[in-house]
Amino acid sequence: MQMTSEDLIEVSTFTWPKGFYADSTHAGLKQDSDDMGWIYSEAPADAAGVYTTNQFQAAPTKLTKQTINLAHQLQAVVMNSGNANSCNGNQGEGDALMMQKMTADRLQIQPELVGIASTGVIGEPLPMAKIKDGISHLKLTKNSGLTKAILTTDTHAKTITVKCMVDGHEVTTTGFCKGSGMIHPNMATMLGFVTTDAAIEGNHLQELLSSTVDETFNQITVDGDTSTNDMVVVMANGAAGNQPLQEDSQDYPTFVMAFKKVLAHLAQEIAGDGEGASKLVEVNVTGADSHLEGQQVAKAIVGSNLVKAMIFGKDGNWGRIMQAIGQTTAHVDVNGVSVSINGLQLVKNSLGTGIDDDKVTKTLEQKKVTIDVDLNVGEFSGTAWGCDLTYKYVQINASYRS
């Protein structure tokens, strides 16, 4: 049997790729946990990024975008939680630049090689004395504390390490992210970081990141709100020793598969850890007129508050799903739609199948709920991820600053 790229990929225990270091510290931005950290590469790494589309793009996000766009290179990213440094005007932009310079001075590298990431409360000035003190305590370690230091309302760190072989060299790709509420990306409210010791030029990395984000992070939603801050940044330092990857490289498909596995895992981790969520929801749409329409319908279903509340209440009210489909502009066979939940068919030819409500309630008790929809108009598909809507979501966001 011929091996596929998937067969050549190994999900490993969390580890940093060759040539990367990371650390975290408690700077006092949050009360009782680490709230600052950095990633550092021994050599400048090729870099790529995608960024929030919110019009009030935060100062750290704008600065990182400008920095990466200079030459698609980074050697470090410094980050903090507890304060977004967003909507702070000229002061916020100056503070982001100062944060970049202080980090560069500490690492003895050029400021143009330092990215900045911040997350937390919007509209409060960044306490620069605490930021300076935090940077002074960061070291070049290999610990994983950074994956927790960036969290806000998340319940756990979200990480993955994947290994594969490229040109006979073992390549390690490690990702981590934060994100729980204000999640409705294009790009939005999460910080995601991917490090790899593969060699791949920045322009190729940017193309790969942008296309993969469209299929992963941009297909999750928790509450329909897009944040001001967030981004996904990738650094590839080439320490594995492979020849620089290009689209016609023999092992390029294997690396792409590994890269997509990292981003898809992180996206689902965010969706399943939505604020107050009790279930991960996956929607798979088939029979679409185009891939774009399949993606559109999947995200509309997973983003519908009525569907999310239905799932939380374990109520097999399939009409909620039908209305979510119908309010899109996608092509639909209005007399031929099918809907199933966890393999139980609720709708066939756009009519209820009369399945026993108790069976549906029982299956909705599972921690993962999979909704399959056939639009019956084409050969394309789409997938999106989200979560249910619970009472706890309101509790968390009613007291976010306190």
Residues taking part in catalysis: 189
CB crowding 39-73: b at 16 or more within 10 Å, else e: bbbeebbbbbbbbbebeebbbbbbbbbebbeeebb
DSSP state at residue 8: G
Residue 386 CA to residue 309 CA, distance in Å, equals 12
* Pair of tokens at residue 78: 């410094």
Q: Give the count of alpha carbons within 13 A of 129, CB side only.
A: 0
Binding residues for substrate: 152, 178, 189, 275, 397, 402
- The answer to whether 197 touches 18, Cβ cutoff 8 Å, is yes
DSSP state at residue 60: H
Nearest to 294 by CA among 373, 183, 214: 373
Instruction: Give the Cα-Cα-Cα angle 139, 85, 208 (nearest 5 degrees).
Output: 70
SS3 6: helix
Q: What does the chain come to in residues?
A: 402
Residue 114 CA to residue 135 CA, distance in Å, equals 13
Kindly compute the dihedral angle of the four CA atoms of residues 83, 87, 91, 96, in this order, to the nearest 10 degrees: 50
Kindly compute the dihedral angle of the four CA atoms of residues 322, 217, 211, 294, in this order, to the nearest 10 degrees: -10
Residue 165 CA to residue 205 CA, distance in Å, equals 18
Beta bridge partners of 340: 345, 372
Kindly compute the dihedral angle of the four CA atoms of residues 88, 81, 220, 364, in this order, to the nearest 10 degrees: -130
CA distances (Å), origin 90, targets 23, 58, 64: 29, 11, 16
Between 319-326 and 291-303, two packed helices, what is the crossing angle to 10 degrees?
130
